[in-house]
A and B are shown apart, each in its own frame.
Chain A
């Protein structure tokens, strides 16, 4: 930024920063509360009675919860696997093939991700009922696949578009047939996008409650299980598991930040238009 715009923002900047900080605090305050309460032996404000790990211990003895946790991981991995295959194929299709009505097609694919979960939940519920499919892991998995696939497709197609057609042309020009081009050139170049999209999809799937709640029978994922726990009031175990989920999310985000974002940009073609390089 030039010195002019810096100077122009001088005094006003401080008020803005104060306001911004307040919003920031607002954003993080609830999570800190949860964190604190997970270590508090009573249900009142922490600090009065010291810290305890009692609730975490109870967590690990709750078999229902542990099973639900495992279920969530399982669904997450499966959904990501399926979404990656379908989403990547879709990305290649959408970026390489021209056909009328492509905009509508793309919109339809993105719908499950953009619409409120309740709509997807009920449409799928009706769908499975009409086909007489009982509510089970399968239905939940299908629900998760519905919103993770557009995510993968969007990320991968963005990457493909940024990559541009030149590398493919170069590969083919140098003697690689389409399969070889895909395997040796395209795939390695979208690898980071794939991983990033996969992590993102897993994170979203892990936390998903809205659609899952519609499609769940007795086979439960963790959010559904926790939701059930909420029916009986806020037991401190809830805070403990919430804190764990918080930490897990943070770990996943750190991984994601590594794979998407700036690091992935090293593969971007430096835009030469208008730029003059020296030797």
Chain B
């Protein structure tokens, strides 16, 4: 019994959140958008409006190449995350009877372990004096540490996948849990073996969760700059680094604003896809 539009007096409730939103979301975005049309000369910012930054992005192959590389890597990472998280979620949801809640919590815990700690962990494992190399050298398989583990796209991929797995796990698990078990009973009653039940019942119904998980993972991977900075080396420069450096040593804020805005546009479009094709409720905030 909801009315279409409520009485004006009720909008008072909305003032705090509206103020918050303006101050921390809308206005900063507007400023950023505006700055993307400025240019930088030395340490000063020239406020004459220009499309130079965007032109640079669209014409200079460097930017396109790096963006493309980042997108590709983000896709790979998302696929890997799903490959890891989906079977895990399926296992916990369908194959475990007792202690399911406990197991769910255990799968979520890595999410709350500090992001930075997880990066430190992987640097340790992959480094020249890291776990893998030390172990291999101790056994005697190799004499010199293998350098291809760290400071390249592989390191970024494995670390980001590690970060993303819990983010994929939650929406997938939520979606799988929502599948009424009696559907599977009915399908098996009608003669489907587990594979067919999986393809015809579980997969279609769990798809929104999968899509949501994939998209979350993709956005996280695409926008990350800290992991490429820490583990990417020179081979692993991603779009995130590129944006970050404009605010760091490259000191070209307008360009950074433009690149950031482009990233923003990409992210928002993709998030829009989630609400269309993925699960809206649940996400990774449900309990």
Contact = CB atoms under 8 A, between A and B. Distances in A.
Interface residues of B, number: 97
A51 to B, nearest CB: 17
Contacts of B257: 122, 126
A207 B222 contact: no
Contacts of A227: 116, 226
A90 B17 contact: yes
A24 B237 CA distance: 30
A252 interface: yes
Interface in A244-279: 245-246, 249-250, 252-253, 257, 260-262, 264
B240 A123 contact: no
Contacts of B286: 158
B116 A209 contact: yes
Contacts of A17: 91, 95
A115 B223 contact: yes
Contact of B105 (A2, A8, A214, A253): A253
A97 B10 contact: yes
Contacts of B256: 122
Contact of A246 (B114, B138, B194, B220): B114
A166 interface: no
Contact of B16 (A89, A119, A250): A89
A234 B5 contact: no
A100 B26 CA distance: 18
Nearest to B216: A114
A138 interface: no
Contacts of B138: 45
B260 A93 contact: no
Contacts of B155: none
Most buried by A among B28, B90, B188, B225: B28
A112 interface: yes
Interface residues of A, number: 96
A239 interface: yes
Given A8-B197, A90-B16, A234-B123, A119 B181 contact: no
B125 to A, nearest CB: 6
A33 B117 contact: no
B92 A20 contact: yes
Nearest to B264: A119
Nearest to A127: B28
Interface in B251-268: 253, 256-257, 260, 263-264, 267-268
Contacts of B17: 86-87, 89-90, 93-94, 109, 149, 153
A19 B87 contact: yes
Interface in A100-131: 100, 105, 107-109, 111-112, 114-119, 122-127, 129-130
Nearest to B256: A122
Contacts of B85: 23
Nearest to A250: B109
B230 interface: yes
B189 interface: yes
A119 B223 contact: yes
Interface string A204-244: 00110110011000000001001100100010001100100
Interface string A8-34: 110011001101100110111111011
Contacts of A142: 24
Nearest to B84: A23
A6 to B, nearest CB: 8
A98 B2 contact: yes
Contact of B31 (A34, A123, A206, A250): A123
A118 B225 contact: yes
Nearest to A142: B24
A8 B247 CA distance: 57
Max chain A C-beta neighbours (<10 A), residue from B20, B127, B181, B185: B20
B128 to A, nearest CB: 11
26 contacts: A1-B94, A20-B92, A23-B87, A23-B165, A30-B122, A31-B113, A44-B129, A87-B17, A90-B16, A96-B10, A96-B13, A98-B6, A116-B219, A116-B220, A118-B260, A119-B267, A123-B260, A130-B31, A146-B24, A209-B226, A234-B124, A242-B114, A246-B114, A249-B109, A253-B112, A262-B101
Per CB-CB distance, the 3 closest pairs between chain A and chain B, nearest first, are A116-B223, A90-B17, A30-B121
Given A1-B94, A30-B122, A207-B114, 10 more contacts: A2-B182, A5-B184, A30-B125, A31-B110, A33-B124, A90-B16, A115-B268, A122-B243, A230-B120, A249-B109
